[in-house]
Structure 1
Amino acid sequence: MRRGLIRTARRWLYIGHRWVGIITCLLFAMWFMSGVVMMYVGFPGLSDKERLAALPDIKWETVALSPDDAMKAAGATRFPRDLRLSMLADEPVYRLTDWDGKRQAISAVDGRAITDISEQQALIVARHHPASRAPRLADIIDRDQWSVTARYDPLRPLYLIALGDEAGTEVYVSSRSGEIALDTNHTERVWNWLGSIPHWIYPTVLRKHGPLWRLVVLWISGVGLIVGISGIWIGILRVRLKRRYGDGRITPYRGWMAWHHVTGLLAGLFVLTWMFSGWMSLNPGDYFVERDTVREAMQRYAGHDAPDIAARLTTPQQGGVVEARFVWLDGGAMMILERRDGASSPVDPTSGAPIHLAQDRLWTAAAKLIPDAHLTGRLTLQQYDAYWYAHHQERELPVLRAVFDDEARTWFHLSPITGDIVGRVDESRRTYRWLFNALHSLDFQLLVMYRPAWDIVVVLLSMLGTMVSVSGVVIGWRYLRR
């Protein structure tokens, strides 16, 4: 009876893997091939460096309102999460983001709230983009394939403006605030239909419903994970390394079945870990905490919470400033000047005098971030390590790491130039780094430091995974034809 049960269980294991695998192998093949594309062409976005490059110099002589006046006009009852000064077409404006995510734009000329941007203003904004040649309005959209995610909701609807350059660059300008929200070019748009869109199952009709999209991808990747486990199990059951099959073969299969069996054994562990890490990327069960720093911690770090910083604003001596951010640090006010090339420098907002941030001041402010914990580690990172690296994104160096002994074992990363909190990770996020980034993208320090070693390894493993998937598709198609 026991042998009969085992035989029946094996039979259903083979049948289940065969028929469910017909669909999942199509998905596997798509994921492996699109993943290779994503190695070199990411989903369109707007980095901070790109955003600054598209801003004109601030016309300080036209700034009539102080930051305090702007916060009063916006009705701020505490210092906002973000406060900055930049140009909107030919007019300087203060942009405020509250702790609840609400955004406001206040004219620095007359204090009026800016809530509606004309087509002409949007075209002037677009003309300052480095790729601008002959900008024209292409469309007014609420949501499309490239602006599908919820991060753009406060900025909708969007002016879609074609810049007329050879790369086919298009920019999205908010009709509410006049900010450039996103830019894309022809190469990105074409290759993403072969990369990120199929890989993430990202069609607009599904992705615009965030919770539904997450649930669909969780189930699809979860089923794929089960198919991968069953495939490895079957492969091990059917392989013979000592008492081999006829002609000295290790597999009982021939043709495409043999290819599927052998390549599945060779790439099985990679396929399985890749499927598992892809499933983990969606944070099932919401186990991994968010990386955002809560308002209370930021207020303790700033040492100030009232809606004031400078009743009188002094024009800085430095030229070429495209944006000014206003922040508090350990009870001291700062205006951080941003230039088009991404360089930052803090100055006193009322005198314009440069501010040099001593590390002792930063450590003193950092010690207040978690009041019930001790600052047990003060590290200055001169090189990237396993938790602070720039493989898929730009990250500042050197950077300070403040290590706490709280229950979550939290680390904060601080900019030694501006004092900004540029990163926060705790024990759960460090675990996530290994369960997702390391397993899914092979972001191991030894590989990413010596490219193209990373490219070669990932492409070869993806080719093996594609062979497993394509052979499974062929086998499935033959079964369906019967």
Structure 2
Amino acid sequence: MSKLYILHRWLGLTAGLMLVVWYGSGLYVHWRALPSVLSFEEQRRTFGEPFTLSEAEKEFPEILKNYGKGPIKEVRLRRAGSRLIYEVHMVNSPGKVFDATTGALLSPIGEAFAKEIAQGFMPATAVEAATLLEVPDAYSIRLPMPVYRITFSDDQSTTVYVDPATASILSRTRTRERLYYAFGSIPHFLNMNLPFLQHNKTVKDGLLFILNALAGLVVFSGIAMAAWMIARHGFLGGLGLKHSLLCKVHYSLGLGFTVTSLLFIASGFFYVVNGSPPPVRIIPKPEELKPIAKPIDLADLRPARQIGSGEMRNSPGLSMVVLKQVLDVPLYHFHHAGGGFSVMRGDTGQPFAVDSHWLHQVVNAFLGSTDSVGEVQYLTDYDTYYYARDGRSPVLPVYRIQGNDSGQTIVYLSPATGEVVGRASRDFRVFRWIVSGFHAWDWPFLLQRPVLRDGIVVLLVIGGLGVSLTGLYLGIANLKG
């Protein structure tokens, strides 16, 4: 017992401090969770003024034939500042942009053009500074380099990051994001902007594992000590008449929040491996989509103006036109500036309609199986695995189909094109319940009752924080004595 006490006391001085940091930053992360990169309203602002197909003198087939060698996976016709451009993405190389009027290559764009694009994000605010970053700053760690950092003169020093290759806004930071980085991302995930850690993920993961293990030993040794005291003196006797009030508080809080502390620590191990929450993890990775997102076939591709002319004459204008190929069908996706969209076949020029047969074809190709199982369900709201959390909102509505692969993967598909927008494999479902459920407390019952969820999470975090703080104080006081 004396050895266990020594272990608990000395580990508590180190891992106890980390627990205080984790609980404190965890409370901040819960309340100020970083939302998706750009909100819908922010994305709408980046589209600029509506346009019509007649403004693009160069057509999709002409741009694609002149682009160069290599398969093309997606093309977008959109505004970048005041210019109408084609954004072309290859299968195995970075994207490039072309002028829709002349067909001239614009990538990489210059600083003046980057400022113009950024100005559309905040049209009423002056640009204060522009810098081309070759090395990421603290808020662009996950962005491709180089990137333009454009800072505005508003009270929050709003900053947007513009990709010189695709002439698009990749991210933005304000006071909220900077506070999240300082008080959430760094202390909770050790996401420090240090080249050594950024280029050596194994080192950072190893450090988190060690800290998690030490914190787990502190909690386990505390449980063992409490069990010994209860066995010898009874539940209330464990408080001890000779102990100070702070010792009694630490003992009581420890008994009340030990289990949840262990759950937080154990699930934290798995978050180190893949820390993305389910609303992010459910989205398929590009390599997973290769069986259905085929390179665009130019052989029978019709110009967009021939396909959409009749319908577009009566529209209030377009915000974007996207060309991509799903299986063997090239599809034009017309986004209307007034809201809504239309999907047309690029080979026949006819409207494209998703049916059950098409959905099963897509699922079979995605899973590499011969026959998907289960009925097609049309979801207008989120379910157990496909749901919103912390500002991250997967698209709705969707179709849901149960796959017949070894993992019984649940596949979520777009009702417009049949593209896979989400998948829940067996590993994902285990992660959702055992890891995310016990770390973020995002059980379906609680997600439907956000006030109750907030109350429970705050209670658990404050309880764990109380145990950590009192234990840390007692350890320091004992060391001084």
Q: What does residue 254 of structure 1 align with?
A: 244
1:388 aligns with: 386
1:5 — aligned with what?
none
Mapped to 2, the partners of 1:228 and 1:31 lie a distance apart of: 14
Give 1:359 shift: 4.2
Distance 1:365 1:97 in 2: 22
Of 173, 183, 187, the match for 1:198:
187
1:20-169 equivalences under 5 Å are 20-43=11-34, 46-47=37-38, 49=40, 50-57=42-49, 59=51, 60-80=53-73, 82-100=74-92, 102-130=94-122, 132-141=124-133, 142-149=135-142, 152-153=143-144, 156-169=145-158
Shift of 1:16: 2.0
Instruction: From 169, 182, 191, give the equivalent of 2:171.
Output: 182
Write the distance in 2 (CA, Å) between the matches of 1:131 and 1:23. Answer: 50
Report matched runs for 1:347-366 at 5 Å.
347-349=344-346, 354-366=351-363
The correspondence of residues 80-479 of structure 1 with structure 2, limited to 5 A, is: 80=73, 82-100=74-92, 102-130=94-122, 132-141=124-133, 142-149=135-142, 152-153=143-144, 156-205=145-194, 207-211=197-201, 212-239=203-230, 243=234, 249=239, 253-283=243-273, 293=284, 298=289, 300-301=291-292, 306=297, 310-314=301-305, 316-317=312-313, 318-338=315-335, 343-349=340-346, 354-377=351-374, 378-392=376-390, 393-479=392-478
Partner AA of 1:145 in structure 2: A
**2:140 partner SS:** coil
Inter-CA distance 192–402: structure 2 relative to 1 (3 Å threshold): same
Shift of 1:383: 3.1
Three-state SS of the structure 2 residue aligned to 1:238 is helix
Instruction: Evaluate the alpha carbon distance shift between residue 72 and residue 428 of structure 1 in structure 2; reply closer, same or farther with a 3 A threshold.
Output: same
Judge conservation of contact 2:354–2:415 (CA < 8 Å) in 1.
yes
DSSP-derived class of the 2:445 partner: helix
Shift of 1:300: 4.6
| More divergent stretch after superposition (172-181 vs 291-300) | 291-300
Report which stretch shifted further, 261-270 or 232-241: 232-241
Q: Contact conserved, 1:167 with 1:185, CA < 8 A, in 2?
A: yes
Structure 2 CA distance for aligned equivalents of residues 450 and 291 of structure 1: 22
Whole-angstrom distance in 1 between the partners of 2:370 and 2:221:
46
1:204 partner letter: N
1:415 Cα deviation after fit: 1.5
Call closer, same or farther: CA 1:108–1:221 in 2, change over 3 Å: farther
Q: Distance in 1 between matches of 2:412 and 2:179?
A: 36
**Contact 1:66-1:311 within 8 A present in 2 as well:** no
Tell me whether 58-67 or 124-133 shows the greater mean CA deviation.
58-67
State the Cα deviation string for residues 68-113 of structure 1 (Å, max 9, x = none). 3333333353341x33222222322222333436333333333333
Q: Deviations over 1:306-341 (max 9, x none)?
A: 356734221534334222221223533221133568
Which amino acid in structure 2 is aligned with residue 462 of structure 1? V
Taking structure 1 as reference, are residues 466 and 295 closer, same or farther at Cα in structure 2, changes over 3 Å only?
Answer: closer
For 1:152-194, what per-residue CA distance to the aligned partner results, in whole angstroms no more than 9, with x for missing partners?
12xx222222233344422111233321111111233234422
- State the distance in 2 between where 1:274 and 1:341 align: 46
Unaligned runs of 5+ in 2: none
**Residue aligned with 1:452, SS:** helix
Q: Does the 8 A contact of 1:132 with 1:164 survive in 2?
A: no
Structure 1-normalised TM-score?
Answer: 0.85
Is this contact kept in 2: 1:122–1:178, CA < 8 A? yes
Q: Which residue of 1 aligns with 2:10?
A: 19
SS of aligned partner of 1:193: helix
How much has 1:143 moved relative to structure 2?
A: 1.1
**TM-score (structure 2 length as normaliser):** 0.85
**Secondary structure, counterpart of 1:194 in structure 2:** helix
Q: Distance in 2 between matches of 1:175 and 1:305?
A: 24
The 3-state SS of whatever aligns with 1:204 is coil
Give unmatched runs, 5+ long, in structure 1: 1-9
Identity of aligned residues (%): 22
CA distance in structure 2 between the aligned counterparts of 1:229 and 1:339, rounded to whole angstroms = 58
How far residue 145 of structure 1 moved from its aligned partner, in angstroms, is: 1.2
Query: Within 2, Cα distance between the matches of 1:187 and 1:319?
Result: 36
Paired AA for residue 127 in structure 2:
P
> Deviation string for 1:406-433 (max 9, x for gaps)?
1122221112134231112210111111
Q: Within 1, Cα distance between the matches of 2:339 and 2:477?
A: 57
Does the Cα contact within 8 Å between 2:45 and 2:121 map onto a contact in 1?
Answer: yes
Query: Does the residue aligned with 2:386 lie in a helix, a strand or coil?
Result: coil
AA in 1 matched with 2:64: M
C-alpha distance in 1 between matches for 2:170 and 2:286: 25
Give the SS at the match of 2:272. coil
- Give the Cα separation in 1 of the matches to 2:175 and 2:337: 24
Letter in 1 for 2:270: M
Report the residue type matching 1:51 in the other structure: Q
What is the distance in 1 between the residues matched to 2:300 and 2:268?
A: 45
Pairs aligned (count): 463
C-alpha distance in 2 between matches for 1:241 and 1:341: 73
CA–CA distance in structure 2, aligned partners of residues 353 and 417 of structure 1? 14
| 8 A Cα contact 1:28 1:469, kept in partner | yes
1:143–1:183 CA distance, 2 compared to 1 (3 A): same
